[in-house]
Structure 1
Amino acid sequence: MAVSFLLLFASCSLKKNIASNKTDPGSGKEKIKTDVSAPAKHEPTRKKQLQFYQDKYAPILGSTNQLSNIELYQFMDQWMKTPYKYGGNSKAGIDCSRLSIMLLDQVYHKNISGSSADIYIQSIPIAVESLKEGDLVFFKINGTVVNHMGVYLVNNKFIHATTKAGVLVSDLNEAYYRKYFFSAGRIK
């Protein structure tokens, strides 16, 4: 089992050149912008929406009463089970650092960049006992530098991209993560 866990992760980094979604000006195709924040006619109330997500993620996160961030739940919903791709930044494949960068940007409006090691340097170290939703967890897996990371959720759970299973939620208390855990950090 330990061998399968070792195969689960590889080092993560972010490629500097990220693909763009620009359309060819001469193609005649125009992008249609939609405002996802505009409420739909029959959209459930925020309270119902929150309850939906809390019920959905309770089996994974345990008690979800402390987690009321609908934007975080929506991000998780969009990215869960996305396959892993080293340097990836799309639904076709994403790595741990890019997932964390996108989550912090889209949910918390915090701007970070780089590989897991780069982001570790940008973070302010905090005690594990002080972890809050949106903080970062860093790992040194079979190496001497930070090469894996995730974003803390609640109840010792964090979301990250793994080589074997893609984007998923894991527990810091699992033996594998305890073994390779290096540090926790916060972005101001």
Structure 2
Amino acid sequence: MKKQIFNHAKQCGEAECCGLVIDNNVYMPCRNIAYDPINNFEISVDDWIEASEKGQITAVVHSHPNGMPILSQADQFYQQKTAVDWWLVCDNHIYQFRYIKPLIGREFEHGHADCLTMVLDAYMLLGVNLPNYEREDNWWDNGKDYYIDSLPKNDFHQVKLSEIKEGDVILFSLNSQVANHAAVYIGNNEILHHLPKRLSKRDLFSGYWLKHYHSIWRHGKWPLSNFTAILNNMAINTK
């Protein structure tokens, strides 16, 4: 299937290719009917119907021949409409972006939509697929130190507060002896995070949060240029 996708992208040249994955194992090439196929793509309703008649549409595929390996603001907007994975062909690679809910305004659900989920999903938008893991509630009171145990294993290293950059993960100790809360630094002295019984939101990294921060961590393959993907997500969900 991947060979079919690469061949289709090559055939489309400078224009964006587009297609649909059916049942996770069949690729159906589609015609790009966008007014400006060099910079955008649009799949016809007829192609959507044809694909849905063959099976379940599990992913939307398109290419960025001269673009970045992240979903654009428009891409993310329409991914949220389709509610399926989106695959992106760029730089002779297929980047698979699982469907995620908007980063801002999420209802809290421990283990499914919490502060760790926020970090995992933000990094997914950047093209970094971090592993999830089962976690019981109040694990920090039961002798566990999940964040400090897992971050170094997943290519994160600790940095100083004075060296903080967009995309770094900030850990906090909230009424705990260990780090039990995480946020993503989004620049301009702001963080993106999710607390229990609250909607996910951005906050100033000052006052209470600065007082209770534990440590700051950076991914070894952190592509700073891809940070736009997080800003794109926040932009389309705060209008």
Quickly name the TM-score band, shorter chain normalised.
0.5 to 0.7
TM (normalized to structure 2)?
A: 0.45
For 1:99, the equivalent position in structure 2 comes to: 118
1:8-32, Cα deviation, whole Å (9 max, x unpaired)? xxxxxxxxxxxxxx99xxxx99421
Query: In 1, Cα distance between the equivalents of 2:177 and 2:169?
Result: 19
Q: Which amino acid aligns with 2:217?
A: G
Alignment of 1:14-163 (within 5 A): 30-35=55-60, 37=62, 78-88=102-112, 94-114=113-133, 115-122=146-153, 123-163=156-196
TM (normalized to structure 1)?
A: 0.55
Query: In 2, Cα distance between the equivalents of 1:145 and 1:179?
Result: 15
Query: Structure 2: where are the runs of 5+ without partners?
Result: 1-22, 25-52, 65-71, 75-98, 134-145, 221-239
Deviates more, 1:75-84 or 1:137-146: 75-84
| SS of match in other structure, 1:182 | strand
| SS of match in other structure, 1:82 | coil
* RMSD of aligned alpha carbons: 3.4
Query: Structure 1: where are the runs of 5+ without partners?
Result: 1-21, 40-47, 51-74, 89-93
| SS of match in other structure, 1:35 | strand
Higher Cα Rg: structure 1 or 2?
2
Q: 1:158 Cα deviation (Å)? A: 1.3
1:136-163, Cα deviation, whole Å (9 max, x unpaired)? 0000111111100011111111111111
User: Higher relative contact order at CA 8 Å, sep ≥6: structure 1 or structure 2?
Assistant: 1
Paired residues, what number?
Answer: 126
| SS of match in other structure, 2:106 | coil
1:187 pairs with 2:219: yes
Are 2:100 and 2:121, in contact at CA under 8 Å, matched by a contact in 1? no
Q: 1:171 Cα deviation (Å)? A: 1.3
1:163-182, Cα deviation, whole Å (9 max, x unpaired)? 13221111111x21022111
Are 1:134 and 1:151, in contact at CA under 8 Å, matched by a contact in 2? yes
Query: In 2, Cα distance between the equivalents of 1:165 and 1:29?
Result: 41
Pair 1:130–1:169, CA change in 2 (3 A):
same
Q: Which amino acid aligns with 1:33?
A: T
Pair 1:162–1:30, CA change in 2 (3 A):
farther
Greater share of residues in helix: 1
